[in-house]
Structure 1
Amino acid sequence: GNDKVAQIITFGTMAARAAVRDVGRALGIPYAQVDTIAKMIPWEPNITIAKALKMESRLKDLMKSDADVKKLIETASSLEGLARHASTHAAGIVLSRKPLNDYVPLQKTAEGEICTQYAMAELEELGLLKMDFLGLRTLTVISDALKIIKHTRGEQVDINKIPLDDKKVYKMLSEGSCAGVFQLESEGMRDLVKRLIPENIEDITALLALYRPGPLGSGMIEDFINRKKGIVKIKYPHPRLESILKETYGVIVYQEQVMKIASELAGFTLGQADILRKAMGKKQKGVMEKQRELFIKGAQKNNIQKNIAAEISDLIAYFAGYGFNKSHSVSYAFISYQTAYLKTHYTVEYMASLLTSIMGNNDKVALYIKECRNMSIEILPPDINQSLVNFTVVGGKAIRFGLAAVKNVGEKAIKSIIDERKKNSYFASFLDFCQRVDLRVVNKRVIESLIKCGAFDSIGVRRAQLLAVLDVTLKSGQEYQKSKGNGQTSIFDLFEKNIFDENNRNYQDKLPDILEFSKNELLAMEKEMLGLYISYHPLNDHKEKINKIVTSTSIELANFSDRSKVVLAGVINNFKRKNTKNGSLMAFVTLEDLEGTVEIIVFPKVYEKCGEIIKKDEIIITAGYLDVAEGKTKVIAEKITLLEKYKENKMPTPKTKEKNHNIAEELHLEINTEENESNLLGKLKDLFYSYPGKSQVVFHFKDKGKTII
C-alpha cells in the first residue's frame, strides 16, 4: 500500500567551488574576481578547499595578499559540506512490511510525493529495503518506433530477437554516426567509438563502463584500445585470469570480474566477494586493506605464489576506483545496440519517434533535424491535412512536424482538427476549415499560429492573405456553426464535398490580392511558432562567408578549455538586459547558429559600444573568450559586430589573403613517447584550443621503433 512505499530524500551539499561562488555573491565581490578564484580550485572528484590550497599555490598567495579573498576562502571553508538543499533521489524507493512512519519520519515534496526525511545511508542502517527503479525515455522511443514501423511498413519487429552481430550497425557506429543512439551520442563518446571500432555487444558494454572520469583520466581507455588492436600485447599475471579477463583484453573493467577473481583464485565466498565489491565502489581503504590480506592468504592456499598473489591484489586495488557494475553496463549496451539497429534499418521511423520524445527541447530537435538531413530525410512543416499530434512519417522518406509542436495549439484543438479530418476528409479551403472544426477550442489564437507556421500552405494560399481575412472568415465560420446548430440549412450543405478537389479547393475563400510576406518575415513567424527554423535558416545565405570568419560553432565549444578565445556567428534568438549595481546596463544574449545555441554575456563596457545592435533576429559576429563553470559553457563577449558591417570592414585585404594562403593545411608533429614529459599532451591540447584555426594537426607517436598516427 501507499503507506509502505516512499521516495528517498537526498541532500545537496556545498561543494568547494559552489561555496566560493555563493559566499562571493553574498559578500558583494565582483563576479569576475569570484569566478577566477573558483576556477583555481582543481576540477576533480571530492575536492575540498583545504586540498585546493595545498595543490594550488596561486590560491594560497591570493589569500596572503588580499584580505577580501582571505575572508571569502575562510567563510567558504566553514560552509563547505553543509546541506544546501534537499531533493529526491533519482531512482531510489524504500519499501517496508509495516507503515513507513513506524520507522522513519516522512515529508511531502514540492510535487506532493511522499518522501523520507532520512537519506539512503541511514535507511540502509535501519535495515529497510531500498530498490532503484530507473525510468528511461529511450524505452518509450523504442516502443513508439516499433509502433510506427508496424503502421508504415506492416512489419512486427521483436526488438528482443534482433541479431546482435549486424555488420551494418557496427559500421555505422564506427563511423561516428551516433546521434540519437542511446549513451553513445556525446562528442567524447563518438570519438571513443571511432577509436575503438566496436565489433560486438561486449565492446559496447566495455565502452559504457570505461567512459567515466576515472578511466578517462588514468589512461585505462588507451590501454584497452591498444590491447584490442594488438598494439600492446595482452599479458596475465596468472593463467587462471585469462578466462575471467579475456573479453576485456586483460584489463579489469567490471566489479563482477573482481568478485570472480576473488572467488576462483582466493576461494572467497560470494558474500565475501561482495564485501570486496562494495569496498571498491565506496573506496573504503580500511576494508580494502583487510580484504587484501585475506586475498593473499586464500590465493596461497590455492597454490598461487605469494608475490603473484600480491601482484594480482595490487592490480585489483589499482582498478578499484574504476571498476563498474557489469550488469548495469550490459543492460545499457543492449539498449544502445537496439537504438543503433533501429537507426540503421528503420531510419525514418526511428528518427520520427526520437524527435517526438524531445519535442520541447529546441536545441535537441535542431540537432536531430540536422542528422535527418545528413541522412537525406526531408523535414516537412506542420500541415492541417497531414499532421498528427506528433512527428509523422510521410511517404516512407520524409518526416512531418506534429501539431503539438506548434506554439499555442493545445491538446483539445489538435483532437478537434484530427477527428474532423478523419470523419469528413481533408480541409478543402480556409473557410471549410473554419466551418468544420470546433471553434470553441480551435480559436483565433490557434488558427493564427497555424497560419504563421505554414500549416495552411498546402491549400495553395499565401499566409499574408489568410491573416488578412482571419477575422471575417472566423466570424463566417461561427455564424455557419450557429445556424447549423439551430437546424438551418445553407446553400453549401446542399453539395457534398467528400472529394478533395485540387482545382476547386479554394472556391469558398474570398482572398485579397496582396503580396506574400518577405522571406525573412516568414522565417521569423516560423521561428516564433515552432521555436526553430524548419524550411530555411537565415545563416544559410551567409554560410560560406561565416565559415571564413568563425573559429568554432556552438556545439564545438565543448572541445575548448576555459578562457579560450573564440569567434562565433549567429542569429540573436533572445536577449535580456539587466542593470548592474552601479546602474550600468549589461545583456545576456542567446545566440543561435546552425548547430545549436550558446549564451553570450555582454558586460557594461562592451554593451556601451554595441548595445544598439543587440536586437532579436539580428545576425552578429561575436569575439570573446569562454567561461566554463560547473560543466556549463558561456562566452564573455569582447566585441560584437553586425555581420554586414563585419564583412564591410573586416574582410581580409589582398595582402592578408596572400598571407593566409601560405598557411599549411596540415601540421605534423612527431612525439617520442619514451622521452617526452607525461603532461605534454595536456599542454598541447590547451595550446591548440587557446589558438584555434583551420589547419589540421596530425600527431606521430614514436614508441619503441613503431610510429602510430
Structure 2
Amino acid sequence: MFTHLHLHTEYSLLDGACRIEQLLDLAAQRGDKAVAITDHGVMYGAVNFYKAAKKRGIKPIIGCEVYVAQRTRFDKTNELDGQSYHLVLLCENNTGYQNLIALVSHAWIEGFYNKPRVDLELLKQYHEGIIALSACLAGEIPRALSAGDYGEAQKAALRYSDIFGEDHFYLELQDHGLPDQKRINPILIRLSNETGIPLVVTNDCHYLTKEDSKMHHVLLCIQTNHTIDDKNGMEFGSEEFYYKTEEEMRSLFPDHPEAADNTNKIAKRCNVTFEFGKTKLPHFDTPNGQENFTYFREKCYAGLHLHYGENPAPEIVQRLEYELDTIQKMGYVNYYLIVHDFVRHAKEVGIPVGPGRGSGAGSLAAYCIGITGIDPLKYDLLFERFLNPERVSMPDFDIDFADDRRSEMIDYVVQKYGADHVAQIVTFGTMAARGSIRDVGRAMGIPYATVDEVAKLVPNDQKMKNITLQKALESSQKLRERYEADEQIHELIDMARKVEGMPRNASTHAAGVVITDRPIAEYVPLAKNGDSVVCQYTMTTLEELGLLKMDFLGLRNLSVIHDAVEMIHIHDPNFLVDKIPTDEPKVFQMISAGVTDGVFQFESSGMRSMIMQLHPDSLEDLIAAISLYRPGPMESIPRYIENRHHPEKVTYRHPLLKPILQVTYGCIVYQEQVMQIFRSLAGYSLGRADIVRRAMSKKKHDVMQKEREIFIHGLVSKEGTIEVSGCLRNGVPEETAQAIYSEMESFASYAFNKSHAAAYAYLAYQTAYLKCFYPKEYMAALMTSVLDNTNKLSKYIAECDRLKIRVLPPRINQSMVGFTVSGKDIRFGLLAVRNLGRGLIETIIKMRQENGTFVSFYDFCKRTYGLINRRALESLIECGAMDDLDGNRRQMASAVESVLAYLDSDHRKNLDGQIGFFDLGEEKKQEEFHLPKVSDYSASEKLSQEKEVTGMYLSGHPMSPFSDCYRQPGITRIGEIIDDLQEGNGQYHDGDMVWLLGIITRKKLKTTKKNSTIAFLTFEDLYGSIEVLVFSKILEENFSLLQEGIILKIYGKISAREDEAPKLILESLEKVSDPSQVEKLAESTKISDDPSSKHHPKPGLYLKVAGEEDPKWIQAKKDLAIFNGIVPLYVVFQNEKKFFRAPRSMAVDVNEPLLRELRRLLGEENVAFVEQ
C-alpha cells in the first residue's frame, strides 16, 4: 500500500485545493486506507478532516507543514529572516498531537514574521510523538542541495534526525517534473545512504486531479492578485501536484520501493484520537469556598423570591426545581455560574447588558440568577428549547453588551481566568457565488465590466442569500443564456464553480469567546489575528470538542438606551428603564402609526408597513411581528393580521391546539409552539420534541417520515412500555393528525425561536418607550451612536425635525462629545466635527468646566495653545462652533495663522527667559490682539463649509422646504436605498430605476480614455447622499443645470457593486425651484388597461382599480407593503385613465397567499402576474 503523507486541503488558504470531502471520497473510491493532512502553518481543517475520514473508514493522519525560522523565531529582520524553511510534521500519537498544536501556536504567537515560524528550540522541546519529513524544495535540506552545498544539507539532516530521533525523521523524494527535483533526488538518495536516514516518497498534493492544475493556478492568482497570463505571477511549473494513484507514485521511483513502502509504515504508526462530546468546563470558584450547586441553588431562590414574592406559586417552584435538577445532572452548574459572574460584573461597572438572546431566555434559572432579564413564564418560553437531557449539543448563552464596551468584558474574563485560558475564535470568509465569479474573472484577466455584469445575474435577494452557482444557473434564465452562448463566460462560471465555497481568508469571529479549565493551547492550536489570539478551530468544532464557547455580542442599541437614560437622569434621577410598564398605550399607538425611525427592529419600510396594519397593543404582538417578518413566514402575515383583527375567523384543527396557538391567532409562529404541539397532542417529551423540530428545520426527510408515524400512532418499547402515546391515543383523528404534522413539517424551518424574539421585542419596546416619552434624550443618544454614518445621521435629524425637535449647531461653550439635550432642543456633538479627536474634545470640556467658558476667539486659542492644531481650529470655525465668540467666521478664519504665530513667538520668548507677551496682564494681551475687519461668508458659503467638516448642513438645509415632497408616491429617499443595499434587505437592486429629489453638493469632471467627459456628482436629500454618474451626452445637454447648489429631480439607474458604495447613473433630470413643481410621478403609457392582457411589455404584477381613493386600492396597498420584494408593480387607475408604474420601494414579493388575497379583494379579472 501507498499513503499520501504530504497534502494541502482548502485550509492552505488560496493554495491548497484538495477539498476535504471530495478528497476522502476519492480516497475511499480507490481503497486508500489512510491519508494525511499537512496544511501550510495551520491546523484549521484537522478536526473536519478527522471526522470525514473516520466516517469513510479511512485513517486520518494529522499533520502540518510548518515554517522553520532560519535563525530563531524571535529574529525578525527582513534581510536575514524574510524566508523560512518548510518541514512536514505528522502526529504519531496523542502526545504528538499535543506537541504539534503547541508548535503551531508558538509559531503564530511568538514567531510570526511573514509566516508563522517555529525554530530549532521549539522543535527540540516539542518533538516527542512527531514524525518529521524533509518537505519540498523549500525545505532546508533540498534548498541547501539546490544551492550545491552538500555539507550544509548533511549537517541539517543529521540535526533533524537528532532532534526527532531514530525512525522519526525521513528524507522526502518528490518528482513533479521540476528540473531542480530531478537534479537533487540522486543526491538525497546518496545522503540517505551515507547518514542512514530513511527515504519516503511523497507527492506535494495541492489538488485532486491533473485537470485541476489550472484551477489551482487561478487560486494562486487570486491569492497574489495576478492574472494567469502574468509571467511574474506565482506558478508551480508543472501539472503534477495532484493526488496520484499508488501505481503513479511507485513508477516515479521504481528503484526505491522501500521509500514508497515507508509511507504505509508511517501511516500504521500514526494513531491520533479526538474526544467528542465530553465537556471541559472551567471550574468556578464560589465565595467562601461554598459547594457550587449549593451556591447556585441559593442564588436562584434569592432571585425567585425577588421576582415572584416570598410565596411563589407551586408550579413556579416546580419549574425551577426541574431546571436545577436538569442543569446539575447535565453538568452545567459551572456554566451558569461563569455566565452569571461576568454578567454581574458588567452590571456592577455600568456596562449595559441585554435582557437575553437566543434560547437561553427560556430558562427560569437564568432569569432568577440575573443572566437574562425577561420573564420566561409570562411569555410561555420553554427551558427545553435551551437545555434538555436528550439534547446532544452544548447549550449556548449569547449575551449582548453595549457595542462600545464589549472589549472590556473580554478583558474581564481574561483577567479572571488567565490570558492562556481565554481566546476568541476563527471564522472563514468563503468564496460565495457572486464573489467566486469576481475573483476568478479578475484572475483570468476578463474585463471588469463583463465580470460585473455576469456576477449581477446571480440572484441576490433575501430568499437566495446562500445560493450556489448551480442553483443560480437553474433559476436565472439570463445567466443560463450567457453561460450557454458565450465560451468565455462558460469557462468563467465553470472555473468559479470549482473554487466556490472554498475559504478565502481567516478572521476573528465577531462574538465568539472560548474559556477553558486548562490552557487553551492544550486543547486546540492558536493563531493571531491582529492583536487577538484566536482558536484555529471554528465555533462548531470547538463545541464538538466539549469546550465552553460563548457569544459576547456588541449591540449598538444598548449603548443608545444607556446614553439616553444617563441624560434622563439629569432631570429624573429615579427613572429605571427596566421598570417601565410594558403595556403603555401611547407607545403602541406610536408604533402602530409607523413612527419607528430609530426603534430597534422596526425601522425598515416593510416592517413599518406591517405593524401599521397589525396595530400591536402588547409585547406579544411585537414578539410575533419580529418572528413573522422574515423570508418564509412572511406568507403567514396576511392570515395573522386578519385573524388578529377578526378573532371570530380563528379556527383550530383540534381543540388541543387552542391553548398553544391562541396567542398567535391560530398561526404557528414559534419553534416552541411546534414543540408544545408534539407534547400536547402526541405525548412527546419536550426534549424529544425539540430533536424532531430540529430535524424538520434541517429537512431530514428520513427522520421526519419516521417521526410522522410515531406522532400519529405512538411508540411502544420492546417491553411494552408506551414511550410516546401518539395522537390516536389522545383522541386526535388520524386525518387531523396527518394534516397537523404536514403543517408543522412545512413551517418548522421558518418557525422562529420565541425566546430570542421575546428578548429583542422587549429591547425594541424599551427604545420605543424612550422615543415616545423622552424623545429629546433618545434621539440625542441615537444620533451619537451613528456619528460615523452620515446617511443615518441625516435620517435621524430629519426625524427630529418631524418631531418638532430642533437640532442646534455645535457651540464651543455648550457642545459635549456627543449629541446632548439643551432645553427643548438637541445640541450637536463636537465628535461629529472632522479633525477633532475625542481626547481634544474632552480636554476642551474639562477646561470649560474648571476655568469657565471661553470668552473670545483669542481666549480659546490661548487656553488650548499646544493642544490644538491649525486644521482642528479651522474645522471649529467652519462648522460654526465659534459663532458665539467675538467676530464672524471669516474674521476668525483669517486670523488663525496670525494668532498661532503670535502665541508661538511668545511661547518661545517665555522659554528663553525673556520678558515677553506672557508677562503682560490678560487684558493688555487681549487689547493687543485684534481680529481683521472683514465681512462674513455668505449663507451658501457657510453651508458648504459646514457640509465639508461635518458631512451635514447645520445652519439650514437647502432641501428643508421640500420635506413634504418625500411623502409623495414615486420620490425615493436616498437613505432608504443606501440602508437597504448595505443591510441586504432586498428592496432595492442593481439596475432599479428611481426618482430622486435633492441638491448637487459636489461635482467632479473626468476625461475618459476615449477623450469624452463624464461627471461625478454628490447628490443629497434630507435623508442621505449618493454619488451620481453622468455620461457625456447627458452632461453636454444639461451642463448649466449640473452645477453645485442646484436642486433637481433626477431619474436614474441604481448601480450596486458588491465592493463599492451604491451609485446612480443619470438618465434624465429636471430643475426644481419650488416644492409645488414636484408633482406625483405617474407615467402615461399605451399599455392595455386590462391587467389580464397577455401583451404587457415586461414582467411584473399588474392591478386595475377604480381610482387612487378607492378603499380597495388603499387596502391592497397595505397588503402589498408587507411583501416587499423585487417584482415591479403596475397599477391602472380607471377613473383617472392613468397608468402608474410604482417606485422601486413598492416592488413586491409575489406569492400565492398575496395573489389569493388581491384576487379576492379586487376581483380575479383585475389582477395579473407576468412572470420573468
Same topology, TM > 0.5: yes
Kindly indicate whether residue 542 of structure 2 is the aligned counterpart of residue 123 of structure 1: yes
| Change over 3 Å in CA distance of 1:221–1:85 after alignment to 2 | farther
After alignment, is 465-474 or 34-43 more displaced?
34-43
3-state SS in 1 of match to 2:1026: strand
After alignment, is 338-347 or 153-162 more displaced?
153-162
Q: 1:448 and 1:56 mapped to 2: Cα distance? A: 54
Q: Which of 933, 949, 953 is equivalent to 1:529? A: 949
What are the within-5 Å matches in structure 2 for residues 163-562 of structure 1? 163-216=581-634, 219-230=635-646, 233-296=649-712, 297=714, 298-395=726-823, 397-435=824-862, 437-477=863-903, 492-493=921-922, 510-540=930-960, 551-557=971-977, 562=990
After alignment, is 474-483 or 19-28 more displaced?
474-483
Kindly indicate whether residue 1137 of structure 2 is the aligned counterpart of residue 691 of structure 1: no
Kindly indicate whether residue 143 of structure 2 is the aligned counterpart of residue 143 of structure 1: no
Q: What letter is aligned with 1:524?
A: S
RMSD, aligned α-carbons: 4.2
- The alignment's TM-score, normalised by the length of structure 2, stands at 0.52
After alignment, is 451-460 or 324-333 more displaced?
451-460
Aligned residues: 675
3-state SS in 1 of match to 2:609: helix
| Change over 3 Å in CA distance of 1:484–1:388 after alignment to 2 | farther
| Change over 3 Å in CA distance of 1:634–1:669 after alignment to 2 | farther
Q: 1:15 and 1:28 mapped to 2: Cα distance? A: 20
Q: 2:965 and 2:612 mapped to 1: Cα distance? A: 31
| Change over 3 Å in CA distance of 1:415–1:121 after alignment to 2 | closer
After alignment, is 48-57 or 401-410 more displaced?
48-57
Note if contact 2:660-2:673 (Cα within 8 Å) is conserved in structure 1.
Answer: yes
Q: 1:420 and 1:52 mapped to 2: Cα distance? A: 62
Q: 2:874 and 2:969 mapped to 1: Cα distance? A: 39
Q: 2:493 and 2:804 mapped to 1: Cα distance? A: 55
Q: CA deviation at 1:658?
A: 14
Q: CA deviation at 1:573?
A: 4.8
3-state SS in 2 of match to 1:9: strand
Q: 2:728 and 2:542 mapped to 1: Cα distance? A: 39
| Change over 3 Å in CA distance of 1:595–1:478 after alignment to 2 | same
3-state SS in 2 of match to 1:441: coil
Q: 1:582 and 1:34 mapped to 2: Cα distance? A: 21
Q: 1:261 and 1:380 mapped to 2: Cα distance? A: 56
Q: Which residue number corresponds to residue 54 of structure 1? A: 474
After alignment, is 247-256 or 300-309 more displaced?
300-309
Q: CA deviation at 1:615?
A: 7.1
After alignment, is 269-278 or 245-254 more displaced?
269-278
Q: Deviations over 1:366-399 (max 9, x none)?
A: 111111111111111111111122212111x111
Q: Which residue number corresponds to residue 18 of structure 1? A: 435
Q: 1:53 and 1:77 mapped to 2: Cα distance? A: 11
3-state SS in 2 of match to 1:8: strand
3-state SS in 2 of match to 1:133: strand
Query: Which consecutive unaligned segments of at least 5 residues does structure 2 have?
Result: 1-417, 715-725, 981-986, 1086-1105, 1117-1122, 1132-1138, 1148-1154, 1167-1172
Note if contact 1:565-1:691 (Cα within 8 Å) is conserved in structure 2.
Answer: no
Note if contact 1:568-1:621 (Cα within 8 Å) is conserved in structure 2.
Answer: yes
Q: What letter is aligned with 2:735?
A: N
Q: What letter is aligned with 2:773?
A: H
3-state SS in 2 of match to 1:359: coil
| Change over 3 Å in CA distance of 1:301–1:94 after alignment to 2 | farther
Q: 2:545 and 2:965 mapped to 1: Cα distance? A: 66
Q: What letter is aligned with 1:703?
A: R
| Change over 3 Å in CA distance of 1:471–1:318 after alignment to 2 | same
Bigger Rg, which one: 2
Note if contact 1:149-1:156 (Cα within 8 Å) is conserved in structure 2.
Answer: no
Q: Which of 609, 623, 630 is equivalent to 2:1051? A: 623
Percent identity over the alignment? 41
Q: Which residue number corresponds to residue 500 of structure 1? A: none
3-state SS in 2 of match to 1:458: coil
| Change over 3 Å in CA distance of 1:262–1:422 after alignment to 2 | same
3-state SS in 1 of match to 2:854: coil
Q: What letter is aligned with 1:410?
A: G
Q: Deviations over 1:144-184 (max 9, x none)?
A: 11111111x13321111101111110111111110111111
Q: Which residue number corresponds to residue 501 of structure 1? A: none
Q: 1:38 and 1:444 mapped to 2: Cα distance? A: 47
3-state SS in 2 of match to 1:599: strand
| Change over 3 Å in CA distance of 1:580–1:11 after alignment to 2 | farther
Q: CA deviation at 1:481?
A: 6.6
Note if contact 1:170-1:199 (Cα within 8 Å) is conserved in structure 2.
Answer: yes
Q: Which of 511, 533, 549 is equivalent to 1:114? A: 533
Q: CA deviation at 1:686?
A: 3.7
Q: 2:1039 and 2:534 mapped to 1: Cα distance? A: 48
| Change over 3 Å in CA distance of 1:133–1:433 after alignment to 2 | closer
| Change over 3 Å in CA distance of 1:343–1:57 after alignment to 2 | closer
Q: 1:160 and 1:415 mapped to 2: Cα distance? A: 30
3-state SS in 2 of match to 1:92: strand
Note if contact 1:254-1:324 (Cα within 8 Å) is conserved in structure 2.
Answer: yes
Q: What letter is aligned with 1:459?
A: L
Note if contact 2:1053-2:1067 (Cα within 8 Å) is conserved in structure 1.
Answer: no
Note if contact 1:208-1:333 (Cα within 8 Å) is conserved in structure 2.
Answer: yes
Query: Which consecutive unaligned segments of at least 5 residues does structure 1 have?
Result: 498-505, 674-679
Q: Which residue number corresponds to residue 676 of structure 1? A: none
Q: 1:46 and 1:4 mapped to 2: Cα distance? A: 35
3-state SS in 1 of match to 2:684: coil
Q: Deviations over 1:195-240 (max 9, x none)?
A: 1111000001111111112222xx1112211111118811111211
Note if contact 1:624-1:635 (Cα within 8 Å) is conserved in structure 2.
Answer: no
| Change over 3 Å in CA distance of 1:388–1:313 after alignment to 2 | same
Q: What letter is aligned with 2:949?
A: M
Q: 1:385 and 1:334 mapped to 2: Cα distance? A: 38
Q: CA deviation at 1:620?
A: 5.6
Q: CA deviation at 1:424?
A: 2.4
- The alignment's TM-score, normalised by the length of structure 1, stands at 0.84
After alignment, is 574-583 or 95-104 more displaced?
574-583
Q: Deviations over 1:129-148 (max 9, x none)?
A: 33222221111111111111
Q: CA deviation at 1:189?
A: 1.3
